Amino acid sequence: MNRSRFCVIATGVALALAAGPATASAEVHPGAMTFTEGAQCTSNFVFTDGSSTYLGQAAHCSGTGAATETNGCDSQSLPLGTPVEIDGASQPGTLVYNSWIAMQDAGETNADACAYNDFALVRLSAADAASANPTVPAFGGPEGLGPSEAGLGDTVYSYGNSSLRQGITKLSPKQGVVVESAGNGWSRTVYTLTPGVPGDSGSGFMNESGQAIGTLSTLAIAPVPASNGVADLRKELNYLNNSGVLSNVSLVEGTKPFNPDLVSAILGA
């Protein structure tokens, strides 16, 4: 499969789009833009281990190689401890986990994990953690962590927030469908009404019940053009919690119930 990761990098024409966070909102929430040394991505969900609060993003958001470098077992990343700017935050967060780094440190040999485990955590400052809102904009939820099984035709929901949309928030809520499972359950191939674009990387996906199931990882060129690769969140969290880097990390549920009505989500965006 020909795939590429698609954060926005602050080079060439993308410089103006990824130079830094937009005007801060009142709080950090899923879908907030993150900026890791100029690379712009979209956060997915809020997580906690009982003592710290984290915002999830894609591992490749801190990648230092080319956009075609998607194998986490040989692609390089900025180190843990790298500051990450976050829309809505009063101060930068800190990169504290990156699946690419964890797999390389562990000498991972599972080809599916190497290809699809694309997850990172940014620790929020105490002040920003206190005001963080775990609710997904427009849709509400998440309603817990969903299963890894990906059924052909399953409906999925996501919220992308790339600056390439020029601030048109009504284009952010997305509904799509699973067209195949990949990597022995490590990933789903998904079509959405409007496909993910550069800057949407890392954004979260929920199933029909509002459960968090995945994180946007790659844009597929073949065999399913314009589809998106959505890494399996349950597997990513299991890997994290067994990595020795962090432990007992779990998803924080939203404070508003999930509403799968796309029209309402668009009108309310």
Identify whether residues 48 and 108 lie together within a single domain: yes
- Decide if pLDDT at 12 tops 60: no
Asked whether residue 117 is assigned to any structural domain, the reply reads yes
DSSP letters, 15-83, are HHHHSS--S--SS--TT-EEEETTEEEE---EEE-SS-EEEEE-GGGGB-S-TT---TTT--BPPTT-E
* Percentage of the chain exceeding pLDDT 70: 82
Domain membership of residue 204 as a residue range: 155-232+255-268
Q: What pLDDT does 2 receive?
A: 45
Identify whether residues 186 and 242 lie together within a single domain: no
Strand partners, 176: 156, 192
Tally the domains of the chain: 2
Q: What pLDDT does 70 receive?
A: 86
pTM: 0.89
Rounded CA separation 25/108 (Å): 39
Residues 6+ apart with CB under 8 A from 15: none
- Decide if pLDDT at 17 tops 70: no
Identify whether residues 240 and 228 lie together within a single domain: no
What does the pLDDT average to over 24-43? 86
Task: Using pLDDT thresholds of 50, 70 and 90, give the confidence band for residue 221.
Answer: low
Identify whether residues 164 and 239 lie together within a single domain: no
- Decide if pLDDT at 10 tops 90: no
Asked whether residue 45 is assigned to any structural domain, the reply reads yes
The better pLDDT of the pair 36, 1 is held by 36
Asked whether residue 139 is assigned to any structural domain, the reply reads no
Asked whether residue 111 is assigned to any structural domain, the reply reads yes
Identify whether residues 118 and 247 lie together within a single domain: yes
What does the pLDDT average to over 130-135? 96
What does the pLDDT average to over 29-37? 94
Query: What digits encode the pLDDT tens for the residues 156-194?
Result: 999 977 666 555 567 689 999 999 999 999 999 999 876
Identify whether residues 206 and 78 lie together within a single domain: no
Identify whether residues 110 and 178 lie together within a single domain: no
Identify whether residues 108 and 205 lie together within a single domain: no
The CATH number for 261's domain is: 2.40.10.10
Identify whether residues 89 and 183 lie together within a single domain: no
Identify whether residues 169 and 126 lie together within a single domain: no
Asked whether residue 140 is assigned to any structural domain, the reply reads no
Identify whether residues 118 and 210 lie together within a single domain: no
Specify the residue for token string 């020029």: 166
Query: What digits encode the pLDDT tens for the residues 77-126?
Result: 999 999 999 999 999 999 999 999 999 999 999 999 999 999 999 999 99
Query: What digits encode the pLDDT tens for the residues 35-74?
Result: 999 889 999 999 999 999 999 999 999 999 887 788 999 9
Asked whether residue 160 is assigned to any structural domain, the reply reads yes
Asked whether residue 150 is assigned to any structural domain, the reply reads no
Asked whether residue 224 is assigned to any structural domain, the reply reads yes
Identify whether residues 45 and 80 lie together within a single domain: yes
